[in-house]
């Protein structure tokens, strides 16, 4: 991948043993303005001077299992500060002669630190009784010689330890989850006081470093990039544009599956932002490619292929392009550790873009070290309009995966009207920013209704609004009944062909956010 591994002067290395919380550790460290990277435990990168400390993550495995994830700890211990979290701490204890056994009591959920030795840097300013989050089936019964207990709970004696004469620590709880009330304090103690990181990794620093790096890397070459109207591609394009100006050629395709008025409005914003952007009306091409297709995956494929064709046609009109810009973000590239089935990253099917090999372009992905919320922050620092930076995620295949069954221009039009009333309503009632993602779904069934004296037999639409952090899990939002009632009324009165509105109250898992 021709990405930009933006090496910062300082960083924390997080070694992942497959915990569902590993990405959260990274987010918390970055919230402290300290850059960090996640690497699988079995692919430890070279320990260069910029790495100021290492965090060993948790894991769904037990250190007692044969073949459980293992690491050459001798190569790290004593050379730089080390913090083992849950599995990481048990691995440290077990490897050096301690005893790790199954817990007698299930230790899952909230606990309180009944003993804290705040003389130790890791626990500085932590309060007696501090609530922490436990999630483990094993417990450290005996510590090896030279390991000191520095915190306990009522049922876990070794809640935290330190190895004498070296900056190596282990904690049994998860400081990265918000239920550990002073978890961030503990992580600050580790990365700032123990590792000595200077907390200077900010959006502005990221922007300056990235623009300089892009300039050096791309020089006078030309870059082509597909824009989607979403946050990621817009922020990536703005960064590249800052670096190389008019040599960035953006292509924004109207696939006929966008929200009402979205193509015109977003194209206008892009032009206002000074981007060199070509808008392509390819609606009919997409409708033709989708004709008669009902299967969700087949729809995605048809849309992906049509996009490649349209993008290719446009890119071929440009001369001498060497690079392809992409808005890939960090969760898409973190190599997941598969210890118990596939872990966190399950989004491969989400990338509708992709390009044929024959285009032979090198890829430039300036956001591939950032999480979504960091992308938004960078976008704001770049003065990208809030209408783009603050918008809900929207899937690449657009309304096609919210129209159950086959796609026609007429169905798209109906759904666009419904979606418009819902989204506009959320904005007008100050609810839009409380929702992570919202939209409407056109169901492939009709229901009986009555309007005036007439019986009707028309379409049903579902509304969905979810709260989430990253789309991996989500819960439905408890929108006010009055609001739902008003929107339902408005939809049925104003959208021809719809006589019933339902609200989706399923969480993910087990449901997904999209219906297809
Ligand atoms: P699910 O439905 O899997 O969605 O819970 C999680 C997030 O991913 C988005 N999504 C997609 N995005 N191409 C995309 O670019 C896709 O094929 C696709 N399918 C789902 C979805 O909107 C939500 O934000």
Tell which residue, 256, 232, 226, has the closest CA to residue 393. 232
Instruction: Determine the pLDDT at residue 344.
Output: 37
Which ligand 1 atom is nearest residue 508's CA?
A: 5
Burial state string for 441-460 with b = 16 or more CB within 10 A and e = fewer than 16: bbbeeeeeeeeeeeebebbb
Instruction: Determine the pLDDT at residue 8.
Output: 65
Whether 346 lines ligand 1, by a CB cut-off of 6 Å, is no
Of 313-317, 345-349, 495-499, which one has max mean pLDDT? 495-499
CB-side neighbour CA atoms (13 Å) of 333: 19
Q: Is 234 annotated as a binding residue?
A: yes
Q: Is 343 annotated as a binding residue?
A: no
CB 108 within 8 A of CB 60: no
For 59-105, write each residue's pLDDT tens digit.
999 999 999 999 999 999 999 999 999 999 999 999 999 999 998 77
Which ligand 1 atom is nearest residue 300's CA?
A: 17
Whether 514 lines ligand 1, by a CB cut-off of 6 Å, is yes
Q: Is 149 annotated as a binding residue?
A: no
Helix H or strand E encompassing 428: helix 409-428
Two tokens at 191? 């990365």
Tell which residue, 155, 200, 195, 196, has the closest CA to residue 173. 155
Residues noted as catalytic? 86, 174, 176
Q: How far is the CA of 346 from the centre of ligand 1 (A)?
A: 10
Whether 90 lines ligand 1, by a CB cut-off of 6 Å, is no
Distance CA 239, CA 366 (A): 7
Q: How far is the CA of 350 from the centre of ligand 1 (A)?
A: 6
Q: Is 230 annotated as a binding residue?
A: yes
Alpha helix locations (H) across 245-383? 262-272, 283-290, 296-317, 330-333, 372-381
Q: Is 19 annotated as a binding residue?
A: no
CB within 8 Å of 287: residues ≥ 6 apart:
256, 407, 408, 409
Distance CA 73, CA 131 (A): 30
Which ligand 1 atom is nearest residue 396's CA?
A: 15
The proportion of the chain whose per-residue pLDDT surpasses 70, expressed as a percent, equals 94
Q: How far is the CA of 142 from the centre of ligand 1 (A)?
A: 46
- Among 259, 392, 504, 513, the mutation site with the greatest number of ligand 1 atoms within 8 A of its Cβ is 513
Two tokens at 380? 């704001």
Reported pTM: 0.86
- Do β-strands 160-163 and 222-227 pair in parallel, antiparallel, or remain unpaired? unpaired
Whether 350 lines ligand 1, by a CB cut-off of 6 Å, is yes
The angle formed by the CA atoms of residues 503, 508 and 510, to the nearest 5 degrees, is 100
CB 251 within 8 A of CB 226: yes
Distance CA 90, CA 393 (A): 39
Burial state string for 405-431 with b = 16 or more CB within 10 A and e = fewer than 16: eebeeebbebbbbbbbbbbebbeeeeb
For 186-228, write each residue's pLDDT tens digit.
999 999 999 999 999 999 999 999 999 999 999 999 999 999 9
Whether 513 lines ligand 1, by a CB cut-off of 6 Å, is yes
Q: How far is the CA of 403 from the centre of ligand 1 (A)?
A: 14
Whether 332 lines ligand 1, by a CB cut-off of 6 Å, is no
CB within 8 Å of 465: residues ≥ 6 apart:
426, 431, 435, 437, 438, 476, 477, 479
Residue 1 has pLDDT above 50, yes or no: no
**Residue entry with tokens 């948790």:** 58
Instruction: Determine the pLDDT at residue 451.
Output: 87
CB-side neighbour CA atoms (13 Å) of 243: 27
Residue 343 has pLDDT above 50, yes or no: no
Mean pLDDT of 283-310: 97
CB 270 within 8 A of CB 252: yes
Instruction: Determine the pLDDT at residue 339.
Output: 59
Domains of the chain and any CATH numbers: 11-194 (3.40.50.880), 203-389 (3.40.50.620), 407-503 (3.30.300.10)
CA-closest residue to ligand 1 atom 4: 513
- Torsion of the alpha carbons at 262, 429, 485 and 494, rounded to the nearest 10: -40
Whether 297 lines ligand 1, by a CB cut-off of 6 Å, is no
Say how many C-beta atoms besides its own lie within 10 A of residue 31's C-beta: 14
Distance CA 443, CA 420 (A): 17
Residue 345 has pLDDT above 60, yes or no: no
Distance CA 137, CA 152 (A): 17
Which ligand 1 atom is nearest residue 515's CA?
A: 2
Instruction: Determine the pLDDT at residue 351.
Output: 43
Which ligand 1 atom is nearest residue 516's CA?
A: 2
Whether 398 lines ligand 1, by a CB cut-off of 6 Å, is no
Mean pLDDT of 356-365: 76
Q: How far is the CA of 334 from the centre of ligand 1 (A)?
A: 18
């Amino acid at each position: 991948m021709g990405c930009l591994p933006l090496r910062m002067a300082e960083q924390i290395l997080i070694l992942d043993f497959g915990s569902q919380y590993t990405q959260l550790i990274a987010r918390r460290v970055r919230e402290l303005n300290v850059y960090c990277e996640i690497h699988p435990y079995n692919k430890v990168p070279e320990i260069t001077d910029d790495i100021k400390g290492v965090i060993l993550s948790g894991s769904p495995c037990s250190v007692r299992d044969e073949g459980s994830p293992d690491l050459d700890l001798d190569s790290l211990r004593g050379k730089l500060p080390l913090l083992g979290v849950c599995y990481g701490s048990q691995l440290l204890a077990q490897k050096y002669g301690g005893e790790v056994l199954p817990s007698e009591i299930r230790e899952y959920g909230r606990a309180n630190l009944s003993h804290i030795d705040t003389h130790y840097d890791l626990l500085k300013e932590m309060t007696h009784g501090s609530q922490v989050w436990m999630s483990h089936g094993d417990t450290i019964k005996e510590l090896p010689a030279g390991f000191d207990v520095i915190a306990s709970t009522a049922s876990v004696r070794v809640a935290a330890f330190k190895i004498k004469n070296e900056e190596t620590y282990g904690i049994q709880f998860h400081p990265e989850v918000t239920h550990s009330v002073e978890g961030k304090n503990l992580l600050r103690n580790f990365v700032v006081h123990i590792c000595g990181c200077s907390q200077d990794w900010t959006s502005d620093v990221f922007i300056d470093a990235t623009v300089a790096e892009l300039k050096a890397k791309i020089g006078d070459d030309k870059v082509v990039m597909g824009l989607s109207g979403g946050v990621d591609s817009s922020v990536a394009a703005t960064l590249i544009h800052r670096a190389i100006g008019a040599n960035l050629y953006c292509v924004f395709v109207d696939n006929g599956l966008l929200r009402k008025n979205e193509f015109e409005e977003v194209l206008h914003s892009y032009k206002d932002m000074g981007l060199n952007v070509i808008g392509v009306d390819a609606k009919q091409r997409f409708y033709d490619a989708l004709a008669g297709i009902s299967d969700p995956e087949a729809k995605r494929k048809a849309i992906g292929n049509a996009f490649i064709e349209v993008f290719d046609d446009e890119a071929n009109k440009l001369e001498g392009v060497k690079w392809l810009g992409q808005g890939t973000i960090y969760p898409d590239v973190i190599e997941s550790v598969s210890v118990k089935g596939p872990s966190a990253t399950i989004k491969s099917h989400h990338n509708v873009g992709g390009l044929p090999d024959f285009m032979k372009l090198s890829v430039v992905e300036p956001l591939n070290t950032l999480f979504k919320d960091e992308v938004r922050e960078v976008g704001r620092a770049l003065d990208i309009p809030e209408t783009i930076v603050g918008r809900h995620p929207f899937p690449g295949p657009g309304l096609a995966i919210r129209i159950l069954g086959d796609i026609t221009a007429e169905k798209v039009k109906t759904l666009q009207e419904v979606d418009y009333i819902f989204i506009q309503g959320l904005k007008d009632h100050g609810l839009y920013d409380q929702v992570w993602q919202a939209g409407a779904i056109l169901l492939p069934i009709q229901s009986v209704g009555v309007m005036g004296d007439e019986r009707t037999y028309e379409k049903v639409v579902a509304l969905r609004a979810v709260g989430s952090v990253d789309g991996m899990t989500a819960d439905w939002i408890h929108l006010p009944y009055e609001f739902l009632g008003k929107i339902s009324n408005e939809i049925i009165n104003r959208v021809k062909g719809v006589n019933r509105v339902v609200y989706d109250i399923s969480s993910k898992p087990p449901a997904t956010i999209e219906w297809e």
